[in-house]
Amino acid sequence: MTNVLSVRDLHFSYHDHHAALRGVSFELCEGDKVALVGPNGAGKSTLMLHLNGILRGQGDVTVGGVRLTRDNLPAIRAMIGLVFQNPDDQLFSPTVFDDVAFGPLHMGLPKEEVLTRVEAALQAVMMSAYRDRMSHHLSVGEKKRIAIATVLSMNPQILVLDEPSAGLDPRARRTLINLLRELPITMLVSTHDMRMVQELFPRTIVMDEGLIAADGETKEILSDEGFLNEHGLEKP
Amino acid sequence: MTNVLSVRDLHFSYHDHHAALRGVSFELCEGDKVALVGPNGAGKSTLMLHLNGILRGQGDVTVGGVRLTRDNLPAIRAMIGLVFQNPDDQLFSPTVFDDVAFGPLHMGLPKEEVLTRVEAALQAVMMSAYRDRMSHHLSVGEKKRIAIATVLSMNPQILVLDEPSAGLDPRARRTLINLLRELPITMLVSTHDMRMVQELFPRTIVMDEGLIAADGETKEILSDEGFLNEHGLEKP
Amino acid sequence: MHYAPAPLHIPDGFLNVTVSVIFWVVTIVMIGMAVSRTNKSLGEKQVPLMGIMAAFIFAAQMINFPVAGGTSGHLLGGALAAIVLGPWAGMLVMTAVIAVQGLLFQDGGLLVMGANIFNMGLLTAAIGYGLYRSVMNKPTGTKLAVAGVAAWLSVMAGALATSLQLWLSGTSNLQTVVIAMLGVHALIGLGEALITVAALSFIFRTRPDLLGEGSASAEGGRGWIIAGVIVSLIVALLSPLASAAPDGLERVAIDMGFIDAGQDAPYEIIPDYTVPFLGETPLSTILAGVIGALIVLGIMVVTGRSLQKKTS
Amino acid sequence: MHSDVFDRYHAANSFIHRLDSRVKVVVTVAFILSNALLPDAAWTAFGLSWLFLLFANALSDLGPGFTLQRSFIVLPFALVAVTVLVSIPGEPLTTFRFIAWDLTITDAGLLRFVSIVIRSWLSVQMAILLVATTRFPDVVHALEHLRVPFILTTIIAFLYRYLFVLVDEVFRLLRAREARSAAVAGFRAGGSVAWRAGVAGNMAGQLFLRSYERSDRVYNAMLARGYTGHLNTINPHELRRVDYVTTALALFVILLFQVVGRV
Ligand SMILES: Nc1ncnc2c1ncn2[C@@H]1O[C@H](COP(=O)(O)OP(=O)(O)OP(=O)(O)O)[C@@H](O)[C@H]1O
Ligand SMILES: Nc1ncnc2c1ncn2[C@@H]1O[C@H](COP(=O)(O)OP(=O)(O)OP(=O)(O)O)[C@@H](O)[C@H]1O
Ligand SMILES: [Mg+2]
Ligand SMILES: [Mg+2]
């Protein structure tokens, strides 16, 4: 399997000198579905913001063989689709269509291409019927799916999702899990939902205090209760 | 046990004529701890807004033997403590102290009484040290606890909480569950967190589409998987 | 990302005491009226609504968009606030915003705050709301177009008032400051107009009830239209006058005893001075202003039309 | 939280921090007013005012350079005063060529320019000191006591509270836009200026609706806790003797500056 993402010895401090990442390294191979877990403040979101260069720390990030530098940021952003925790942060356009079309339009793609991409992305999340709805009035679960469509329309090679299941009711959560299972794409998903981790992800990365505490098979990690407790986690 | 809250045949439609409550009846006895569950849009929040007269539908609401009418709203609001889902909506004052003192001050209590109430409420949620902090510096878990203190300071007979555990990490959620368990007060709690329901509440009310679908022992309700699925819920 | 001060916020020290006090008086009177009006129309809901809307304007000023060469446009929000909340509430909201910017961030001074509120809160409300109100019953496209022009004009009005205050305080040379301020703000105003129109059309599409008859934006009537039109006309007439023929304006100011009232080291203003490199171009200034206004109008009508099509 | 950079208060327990906020507001305004009243070229008075400021800085435990470092935000604005250098008649000091014109800086022009900049620079430092040593809710309390209409101070308090919530929201929106601002080889990325402005406008509209609906929820939360249109507060602040003495002394000194500056 080809290596599509590699992060090497990543360090980052916020302007208040709080070290949020203190040497993080890992790799993703094509088709990997990986969970990223850890207590509040572990650095999960900070790490994700590095993957497409919204934050820039010390260390290397390489996406699809291209090293992330200031000059190839736009190209990297076309390869990594980042979905934020709160769909309200992701959806800033009046209609679902406008939002899903933003990425392709910004890339300067021709009109027909934009339209087909939007259709395909909405289909993938089963929301084609919502094309002309206003995102403002959708339920949380629906918004989550649209948020995923907004990055799918950019045809990313890797999907990075920050706590996708937070705030969903059981039914919406179930729909989301099925959706993620069926998307044939490399993904890294941060979450506090240990049952989803167990169900969906063969591999898990545990972060705590800016470091990777474990990286391996989900089954093994979840069976070590002492280790989980140590990092503020719970068995599913 | 005395009946402290009774709702009889409550109907309510929002201005777009969407019927959010279509005949809801139930009772709470003193000391009851009751979970209110149901899918998104079931009407849980709408029902809660009726309990202290922020919304007024057709039907009767009786609190502590007093029927809710326009004239006794202030008295009713002193008896029912309503905590909203988003603590940022609940904490609107600049400092924690101002927020917790808001309720008692508006009841017209004398200064010393206000001060003792604030102290007691902060103590109950274990946040005495936060008295002079500004709300915007707190973490979500801390905000949640302060939000509960803002209504505890009004010495309510009934605590009504809308999705208190949403968005908390496992550790903060655990702290909240312990807090709710130890508060010696009647409470009605809406939530999507079925494991919390199982752990904490002997009785559960299931709502769907503006109606009460079930009201009974939690154990029984949670064991009927077919029924749960029908209402968009899951076994914990 | 940091908080970016807008060029209209005058710091302390740049206006003299007389000018500062005059604008404090005007501002206080208007705020007093605004308080009593909004209190009447909104009642107990006033406090949370105004407070959160003020936070909204503050936050919205941070939404920027890249223009070219590393510069970016953003919103001031006076016209938008007045259009969506009504003129009085808009004034109160802008007052709170400017007060916090001055008190907390030193973006704008304290003694000169009256003038800053006047420039960015009161003038923008009069123009923004007045012009918009005059087409209240017209189709959405027209309303959007007029709102865009009003937003542009409101920024120009703020810039002109700022220039005049600086000049009356003896801080700047009239012609230079007017040309420089209006020149810069003609561009800033374009960004203001575009964002205002887009934000309004968003609201038209999602919550038209907030902008229709019976909403805050339908309150007040002819008085505001007259005020808006008059202020707009003054801006339209005064800016070319100040930049092309400053002597006339100066004479009026001297006759009214304005100019040396607050100047501690009174100096004689040479009646016929011109800064050579700017003085020779009054005609082109006027021309540029007119062309700019026409372009804005054109863009607004076109976007207004297309947005209207989308809506229907 | 990103927006914490907005918090200008620097916690410490200095003499200045402990002063009642009313004292600090009154003295700050008096100081700024005094600067504005001082005539041009009142160098001694300007110098004394600066000493006063240094003294206050020293009493605040923030370090002597604290307000200085942050005072440069007024510099760009000084540009609007540049023209007085060449437009006020006086003894010519130097003449230089600017593109095709000869401009003459006069002594009177220079005096005026320097005076304006000094006034502004002193004033802004005092304002910086005020918010660095006083928590903003206390500044608002002080305004209340100083007879600013209650409704206005409450609106300001709400603004301050929700500023952080909404600004965080904006930061997250901007971040999401940035994350999707991609380019692929062979196509010109970015769209037109009008399209980008439209996107920014949509964000503003979006933010407006959310804020508007939030104000409804907050209003409900206030009603739930007994709000009826009247806001009650407890104001534990009481002026102590040290507050009175400090105010009197400070105002007296500021008055002296005026005397010095005018003789
Ligand atoms: N903008 C910021 N400025 C300063 N510090 C920050 C900022 N964002 C996060 N931090 C700090 O960096 C650390 C890592 O935060 P991060 O948001 O990455 O954690 P997380 O693992 O995503 O947590 P959560 O599960 O709560 O989302 C925390 O200590 C946090 O307080
Ligand atoms: N302000 C409103 N205006 C119009 N309709 C509303 C409003 N608030 C809620 N509704 C509608 O009323 C119904 C009940 O909503 P409610 O918020 O009570 O559901 P809920 O059970 O609390 O759901 P959730 O679990 O998502 O919080 C929903 O269909 C919703 O769309
Ligand atoms: Mg996170
Ligand atoms: Mg709800």
What CA–CA distance (Å, rounded) separates A228 from B9? Answer: 48
Mean pLDDT of B120-124: 91
Q: Which of B43-47, B116-120, C174-178, D44-48 has the lowest mean pLDDT?
A: C174-178
**If you search the block for the tokens 């309004």, which residue do you land on?**
C200
Q: Where are the domains of chain C?
A: 17-31+44-305
Q: Contact, A235 vs B195, CB < 8 A? A: no
**Size of chain A in residues:** 236
Q: Between these two residues, A45 and B136, which has the higher pLDDT value?
A: A45
Which atom in ligand 2 lies closest to the alpha carbon of residue B210? Answer: 14
What CA–CA distance (Å, rounded) separates B220 from B215? Answer: 10
Residues with Cβ–ion distance below 5 A, ligand 3: A 45
Residue whose CB lies within 8 A of the most ligand 1 atoms, among A13, A46, A85, for a mutation test: A46
Statement: residue B73 has pLDDT above 80 = yes
Closest CA to A41 of D9, B172, B96: B172
Model confidence at C280, in pLDDT bands (50, 70, 90)? very low
Q: Can you list the positions of beta strands (E) in chain B?
A: 3-13, 19-29, 33-37, 58-63, 66-67, 80-83, 158-162, 186-190, 203-208, 211-217
Residue whose CB lies within 8 A of the most ligand 1 atoms, among A21, A44, A161, A188, for a mutation test: A44
Distance from the Cα of residue D55 to its chain's centroid: 20
Which atom in ligand 1 lies closest to the alpha carbon of residue A49? Answer: 18
pLDDT in the model for residue B7? 95
pLDDT in the model for residue C298? 59
pLDDT in the model for residue D141? 87
pLDDT in the model for residue C246? 66
Mean pLDDT of D170-184: 85
pLDDT in the model for residue C215? 61
pLDDT in the model for residue C7? 62
Burial B209-223 (b: 16+ CB within 10 A, else e): ebbbbbbeebeebbe
Statement: residue D190 has pLDDT above 70 = yes
Mean pLDDT of A187-194: 91
Which whole-number Å values give the CA distances from B154 to B39, B45, B54, C10, D55, in the listed order?
31, 21, 17, 46, 47
Q: pLDDT (tens digit, 9 = 90+) per residue, D105-149?
A: 888 888 889 999 999 999 999 999 999 999 888 899 899 888 888
Q: Domain limits at A145?
A: 3-230
pLDDT in the model for residue C110? 93
Q: Between these two residues, C263 and A6, which has the higher pLDDT value?
A: A6
Q: Quick check: A89 contacting D, CB < 8 Å?
A: yes
Q: Please answer yes or no on whether B171 and A40 come within 8 Å at the CB atom.
A: yes
What CA–CA distance (Å, rounded) separates A172 from C234? Answer: 58
Which atom in ligand 1 lies closest to the alpha carbon of residue A85? Answer: 27
Closest CA to C55 of C81, C31, C74, C32: C81
pLDDT in the model for residue B223? 93
pLDDT in the model for residue A221? 93
Backbone dihedral angles phi then psi of residue A43, each to the nearest 5 degrees = 115, 10
pLDDT in the model for residue C3? 42
Backbone dihedral angles phi then psi of residue B108, each to the nearest 5 degrees = 75, 25
For residue A145, count CB atoms less than 10 angstroms from its CB and return exposed for 0-12, middle for 13-18, buried for 19 or more: buried
Statement: residue C285 has pLDDT above 70 = no
Rg (CA), chain B: 17
Q: Please answer yes or no on whether B92 and D232 come within 8 Å at the CB atom.
A: no
Model confidence at D235, in pLDDT bands (50, 70, 90)? low
Q: With respect to CATH, is domain C17-31+44-305 assigned 1.10.1760.20?
A: yes
Those residues whose C-beta lies under 8 Å from the C-beta of residue D100, and which sit 6 or more positions away, are: C276, C277
Q: Quick check: D161 contacting A, CB < 8 Å?
A: no
Model confidence at C220, in pLDDT bands (50, 70, 90)? low
pLDDT in the model for residue B47? 95
pLDDT in the model for residue C266? 30
What CA–CA distance (Å, rounded) separates C265 from D108? Answer: 9
Which amino acid type is present at position C298? G
Those residues whose C-beta lies under 8 Å from the C-beta of residue A88, and which sit 6 or more positions away, are: A143, D169, D210
Q: Contact, B212 vs B25, CB < 8 A? A: yes
Q: Can you list the positions of beta strands (E) in B117-173?
A: 158-162
**Size of chain C in residues:** 312
Closest CA to D238 of B111, B131, B99, B100: B111
CA angle (A30, A35, A41) in 5-degree steps: 130
CA-nearest residue to D182 within chain A is A74
Within 8 A of A40 by CB-CB distance, chain B residues are 139, 141, 169, 171-172
**DSSP structural state of residue B95:** B
CA-nearest residue to A230 within chain B is B171
Q: Contact, C298 vs C142, CB < 8 A? A: no
pLDDT in the model for residue A104? 92
Q: pLDDT (tens digit, 9 = 90+) per residue, C57-108?
A: 999 988 888 776 666 778 889 999 999 998 999 999 999 999 998 998 888 8
Is A235 inside any structural domain?
no
Within 8 A of A137 by CB-CB distance, chain C residues are 206
Per-chain mean pLDDT for chain B = 89
Is A33 inside any structural domain?
yes
Q: pLDDT (tens digit, 9 = 90+) per residue, D4-48?
A: 556 778 888 899 999 999 999 999 999 999 999 999 889 999 999
Structure tokens that stand for C302 in this block:
């076109």
Q: Please answer yes or no on whether D182 and A93 come within 8 Å at the CB atom.
A: no
Per-chain mean pLDDT for chain A = 89
Which atom in ligand 1 lies closest to the alpha carbon of residue A16? Answer: 4
Q: Where are the domains of chain D?
A: 8-135+238-261, 150-224
Those residues whose C-beta lies under 8 Å from the C-beta of residue C312, and which sit 6 or more positions away, are: none
**If you search the block for the tokens 């920024």, which residue do you land on?**
C155
Angstroms from B147 CA to nearest CA on chain A: 19
pLDDT in the model for residue C301? 55
Give this prediction's pTM.
0.84
Statement: residue A171 has pLDDT above 90 = no
Q: Please answer yes or no on whether A137 and C205 come within 8 Å at the CB atom.
A: no
pLDDT in the model for residue B27? 95
What CA–CA distance (Å, rounded) separates A127 from A99? Answer: 13
Q: Contact, C1 vs C62, CB < 8 A? A: yes
Q: pLDDT (tens digit, 9 = 90+) per residue, B213-236?
A: 999 999 999 999 899 988 888 887
CB contacts < 8 A, B to D, total 82
Q: pLDDT (tens digit, 9 = 90+) per residue, C13-47?
A: 999 898 999 999 999 999 999 988 888 877 778 88
Is A162 inside any structural domain?
yes
Please write down the HEC assignment for all residues of A120-156.
HHHHHCCCHHHCCCEHHHCCHHHHHHHHHHHHHCCCC
Q: Contact, C260 vs C166, CB < 8 A? A: no
Please write down the HEC assignment for all residues of C225-240.
HHHHHHHHHHHHHHHH
Neighbours of chain C (3+ CB pairs under 8 A): A, D
pLDDT in the model for residue A39? 84
Is B156 inside any structural domain?
yes
Give, using CA atoms, the residue closest to atom 12 of ligand 1: A20
Model confidence at A1, in pLDDT bands (50, 70, 90)? low
Please write down the HEC assignment for all residues of A140-198.
HHHHHHHHHHHHHCCCCCEEEEECCCCCCCHHHHHHHHHHHHHCCCEEEEECCCHHHHH
Q: Contact, C90 vs D155, CB < 8 A? A: no
Q: pLDDT (tens digit, 9 = 90+) per residue, D52-98?
A: 999 999 999 888 778 888 887 777 778 778 778 877 777 888 887 76
Neighbours of D71 (CB within 10 A): 21
Q: pLDDT (tens digit, 9 = 90+) per residue, B46-69?
A: 999 999 888 999 999 999 888 999
Is B193 inside any structural domain?
yes
Q: Can you list the positions of beta strands (E) in chain C?
A: 64-68, 71-74
| CATH code for the domain of A41 | 3.40.50.300
- Ligand closest to CA A207: 1
Neighbours of chain D (3+ CB pairs under 8 A): A, B, C
Statement: residue C1 has pLDDT above 70 = no
Percentage helix, strand, coil for chain D under 3-state DSSP, each rounded to 5: 70, 5, 25
For residue A58, count CB atoms less than 10 angstroms from its CB and return exposed for 0-12, middle for 13-18, buried for 19 or more: exposed
pLDDT in the model for residue D22? 93
**Size of chain B in residues:** 236
Per-chain mean pLDDT for chain C = 77
Model confidence at C213, in pLDDT bands (50, 70, 90)? low
Is B161 inside any structural domain?
yes
Statement: residue C267 has pLDDT above 50 = no
Angstroms from C28 CA to nearest CA on chain A: 38
pLDDT in the model for residue C286? 44
Angstroms from A141 CA to nearest CA on chain B: 9
